[in-house]
Structure 1
Amino acid sequence: MNQYHQDLAAWAAHQAALLKAGRMQDLDVENLIEEMEAMSRKEHRELFNRMIVLIAHLLKWQYQPTHRGMSWRQTIFNQRNEISDLIEDSPSLANHFDDAEWLNKAWRRGVQQAETETGIKTLPQQPVWTIAEIREKDFFEQE
């Protein structure tokens, strides 16, 4: 069993040292490819999960006005900021915003989360807001 399976951090540091030294022939290419692909999937998953939480909280904000509080406002604020930071760090992630199926899937998951947390079963099953509205910092702030 090689270092990759025994100590990922040590393996990664060693691979970085090999790259810096230009020792390409000594790289663990197969596992480097696997790790790079995993890193990309992780970034995509994080964006998707943050969008789910944001949608759920926006739905709760709209459909439970008597329950609005600083906690929900803070969650909405934080998710929008984290999504913006992800896009700033990895601009290609914004390509998801042009994918209607991606939004539909995030919406369905956001609805499921909001339904579970509120017990409301009449939430819209299809997106009623655009990505731009969902991400807009002042969207729902005046309500």
Structure 2
Amino acid sequence: MTETTQLKSPSKYHQDFVVWCEDTVAKLKDRDIEGLDFEALIEEIESLGLRDKRELKSRLGVLLAHLLLAHLLKRLYVQSPNDYCGWQNAIADQRREIELLIEQSPSLKNYFVEVFEDSWRHALKRVKQDYPTVQLPDEWEFSRDLDAILTEDFWLTDEDGEKK
């Protein structure tokens, strides 16, 4: 097969991704560098980093919009003590998922900073829709530090009843 014909015919990568993966792994194990489809391999490796970024943004969106910030806002501003435990458990679950993701890819800490504001705005909008009569802050009032977001119980108060 000529190089021109080879470029025009679809590769295993485009025909059957699983077969391509199995074939690529076998070639890597055999150190068969000549047989590798470098273009497809480069594309897949690039997508791995993007996948982790998408997953962090997605989990951060869930954490902030659906759980942490939404539940945190509810925990801080909605007087519903019967719901506090459920809200706090949801916060803890998503915090752990993000911790695991950051452990696997520590560079995602920087990405967290990039997507925080957008995630906060989305969370605020959702909670305002769910609780239109509750006065919510327009700005995030607490630390934006990832470690703080993942550990601090923002709903606790000091001796004077003020939020910490």
> Is TM-score (shorter-chain normalized) higher than 0.5?
yes
C-alpha displacement of 1:6: 2.8
Aligned equivalent of 2:110: 95
Aligned partners of 1:104 and 1:126 also within 8 Å: no
Selected match of 1:108 from 121, 129, 137 = 121
Structure 1: runs of 5+ lacking an equivalent: none
Residues 56/28 of structure 1: CA separation in 2 closer, same or farther (3 Å cut): farther
Aligned equivalent of 2:98: 83
Residues 6/61 of structure 1: CA separation in 2 closer, same or farther (3 Å cut): farther
C-alpha displacement of 1:82: 0.6
Selected match of 2:72 from 36, 58, 63 = 58
Larger radius of gyration between Structure 1 and Structure 2 = 2
How large is the RMSD of aligned CA atoms in angstroms? 2.5
> How many residue pairs align between the two structures?
140
TM-score (norm 2): 0.70
Residues 124/142 of structure 1: CA separation in 2 closer, same or farther (3 Å cut): closer
> What percentage of aligned pairs have identical amino acids?
35
Aligned partners of 2:142 and 2:154 also within 8 Å: no
Aligned equivalent of 2:26: 17
> Per residue, is there more helix in 1 or in 2?
1
Structure 2: runs of 5+ lacking an equivalent: 1-9, 158-164
Choose between structure 1 and 2 for higher RCO, CA contacts under 8 A separated by at least 6 residues: 1
CA distance in 2, matches of 1:77, 1:68: 14
CA distance in 2, matches of 1:10, 1:104: 41
